[in-house]
Chains A and B, each alone.
Chain A
Amino acid sequence: MTVTDRPELEGLGNYKFGWADSDVAGATARRGLSEEVVRNISALKNEPEWMLDLRLKGLRLFGKKPLPSWGSDLTGIDFDNIKYFVRSTEKQAASWDELPADIKNTYDKLGIPEAEKQRLIAGVAAQYESEVVYHKIREDLEEKGVIFLDTDTGLKEHPELFKEYFGSVIPVGDNKFASLNSAVWSGGSFIYVPPNVNVEIPLQAYFRINTENMGQFERTLIIVDEGSYVHYVEGCTAPIYSSDSLHSAVVEIIVKKNARCRYTTIQNWSNNVYNLVTKRAVAYEGATMEWIDGNIGSKVTMKYPAVYLMGEHAKGETLSVAFAGEGQHQDAGAKMVHLAPKTSSTIVSKSVARGGGRTSYRGLVQIEEGAAGSASTVKCDALLIDQISRSDTYPYVDVREDDVSMGHEATVSKVSDDQLFYLMSRGLNEDEAMAMIVRGFVEPIARELPMEYALELNRLIELQMEGAVG
């Protein structure tokens, strides 16, 4: 694997996706953010006037809002050095072979075309830099009226849905990074599932940053109509560079009456990516929203997938697993807002910190007046491998209704010598024993992942745990 010839980076060799491909588009791309940059993006995409207005509003609000003072240290982000838009290929390909060789090569190495061929997935989107370069959905789903497009094409073909839903879950001014995303968004997935359609096999998106100092700002909008089901899976990787990139996505999901949506993320950015993402779903009467969130890579992640429970009997669930190794801070968690009676939510968070890494659980459970009969449970467990790592728990609970039940529990433990000794006396070496303990610890979440991702997670744990002992 050709990472780079910089010797000081060799220590990072654990990361399997760290190669960089030739980068003509990226090298010439402009750095920094201005009104002109925003207008250019909009013009390149031939967008309607209202979208440009929304972008400009996002830009104004981005400038006004301060960096969050809580959470991770974000002062290292140099907004003037980021490339806000990089077009890697002129047109979207309908088959992998149409893609430029470099890009196809990347996805081959990631194994995406193979998975598609074997029909493990119902649709694929591949985003390279700012735009989706490959897109495909299975014909039978298309016939049933399932729309799976990149967001730019979605806006062109379904302007009425966009006018109604875009920015309705996460407003332009929601937070600094949502404003930034609104200003310069590009790519992402747009999914619409018509009523009573069950999409049995996951739809999948793969996000890749190749350029150094790239800013990737995809925007995903998912609408699951009444009684339908969809599972969307996304994976993310990037090359290892010595200076930082920024990934700041916005994901909006609308789960209508009695529908169910599951959104799985395996975030494995390289250790020079700031991953600052806003993800939120609204769940109406009887609907279920599930976030399955794996954070393994990145330098800093701040991500708190949210579910707003709007209708009676709506249900929200977040399963989250985070690994932080050397130099990493995973500030992840979940947010559940109960706005209707008899709603329920569950948050299960597991984190592992090693090698001086830091994991934080930060969550909010809010039960508003009127949400009588609601219930929420939060459970966070943290595992510490060594003395230099750090784990924090910042849960937040706001209950404004009396007829509810609310529980929060957290434990922090270290891998005990007894456990290691037990496994080693059965012939495992120390690394294997440690990896097995960690796998057991995250198992409740791993089993919720699609097969290939569960295997991937196990493999990543092994890589992460290599040399963790001693």
Chain B
Amino acid sequence: MGLDTKPLSTLHGKSSYDLEDFPVPTGREESWRFTPLSRLRGLHDGTAPVTGSVVVEVHPSPEVSVETVGRDDSRVGKAYVPADRVSVQAFTSFEKATVITVPKEAVTSEPTVVNLRGESAEGATYGHLVVVVEPLAQAVVVLDHRGSAVYADNVEFVVGDGASLRVVSLQDWAGDAVHVSHHHAQLAKDATFKSFVVTLGGDLVRLSPSVSYTGRGGDADLSGLYFADAGQHLEHRLLVDHSVPDCRSHVDYRGALQGDEAHAVWIGDVIIRVEATGTDTYELNRNLILTDGARADSVPNLEILTGEVAGAGHASASGRLDDEHTFYLQARGIPYEEARRLVVRGYFAQLIQKIEVEEIRDRVLAAVEAELAR
């Protein structure tokens, strides 16, 4: 059953492995009020026929072991307990899980790439992925989502004592895809977790990254970049739960929106519990609205139950392209379209530099350029 039954925090809902514990959302719930439920194609109410197909292919670094396991494997569902209806639906419905293990003290020589290819948006698919990084190991993992799919999954990142995991998750879906996903990272003592989320494609993408700590000195760095076009709904809901002293979290998500009914939602929740003294946390979200008709919702929430914090803050800003920036460039002979592209590129550049895998970095830069050329 749920780990957290008492309502300590309004940010932290209940969690459970049991579908019955989560009624079908109506859209009035705090956690669902931004999501257009009618576009989830039945992922939220159990009506989605499980006839879809998402092919999972892993190209591991040589040091890494990859297994495909059944539902009863003890490593599945150990770090993360589903916290909403779609998550628990995925958890109770998937058939095969992929487990990637980075053995103790191993330093991987190349990124481990997980390709997820959707084959059709008819019928749903449920998935589960576990990445275990054993103590003192270091690894880079790339999740690359492409194609058409109605896909719900849970991903668990278990980072051991002193280990380091860098993750890039690309949501580069085709225009008709629906993807609802939870990414949970559990950080042991002195573990480092850096994630980079890039959401570009799909009709509706709702990704909920969360972080929990089991030992002191855990360090989580969550970055994200999204580009919402006409009609797209891109939602990122972050939850960092500081329950252990002396841990750190840093969140930086930036998005751009263009076109009618382009909708981006960013929720950044941070809880600092009574025990979590010495916590250092900061969250930042920025939205650049490029055209009329786009909408950005940005809600950073902070619950602090102890006064002994090293630092806690958040900032959120939404606005349009600054005319002065483009004017400055135009005054130097750069045409408006080019100037606009440069400004947007500058807006994302600092973030994109953080991507550790060069090919991915180039691909993201190219994707941003392509979006701007539309």
Residues of A within 8 A of B (CB): 70, 353, 382, 384-414
Contacts and interface: CB of A to CB of B under 8 A. Distances in A.
Contact of B315 (A391, A399, A402, A410): A410
Nearest to B9: A392
Interface stretch (B43-51, B140-148, B301-309, B362-370): B301-309
A399 B318 contact: yes
Contacts of B296: 399
A387 B308 contact: yes
22 contacts: A382-B304, A384-B309, A386-B307, A387-B306, A388-B274, A388-B306, A391-B302, A394-B301, A396-B299, A399-B289, A399-B298, A402-B289, A402-B291, A402-B292, A404-B319, A408-B300, A408-B314, A410-B313, A411-B312, A412-B312, A413-B309, A414-B307
Contacts of B293: 402
Given A402-B290, A402-B291, A405-B319, A384 B313 contact: no
Contacts of B289: 399, 402
A404 B301 contact: no
Contacts of A414: 307-309
B311 A413 contact: yes
A353 B302 CA distance: 15
Contacts of B287: 399
Nearest to B313: A411
B319 A392 contact: no
A387 B307 contact: yes
A404 B294 CA distance: 12
A58 B306 CA distance: 41
Contact of B304 (A391, A398, A404): A391
A-side interface mostly:
strand
Given A385-B307, A387-B307, A410 B299 contact: no
A345 to B, nearest CB: 14
B10 interface: yes
A416 to B, nearest CB: 11
Nearest to A378: B316
Chain A to chain B: the 4 pairs with minimum beta-carbon distance, closest first: A384-B307, A402-B289, A405-B319, A393-B302
A393 B300 contact: yes
B312 A397 contact: no
A33 B30 CA distance: 32
Nearest to B34: A398
B277 interface: yes
A393 B319 contact: no
B162 to A, nearest CB: 29
Contacts of A411: 312-313
Contact of A395 (B300, B305, B312): B300
Contacts of A393: 300-303, 314
Nearest to A379: B315
A396 B302 CA distance: 12
Contacts of B298: 397, 399, 408
B295 A400 contact: yes
B308 A412 contact: no
Contact of A392 (B297, B304, B317): B304
A391 B306 CA distance: 8
Given A391-B304, A412-B302, 12 more contacts: A386-B307, A388-B307, A390-B304, A390-B306, A393-B301, A402-B291, A407-B316, A408-B317, A410-B302, A412-B309, A412-B312, A413-B312
B306 A404 contact: no
Contacts of B354: none
A413 B296 CA distance: 29
A16 B292 CA distance: 55
Nearest to A360: B303
Nearest to A408: B316
Contacts of B294: 402
A348 B178 CA distance: 40
A395 B318 CA distance: 14
B320 interface: yes
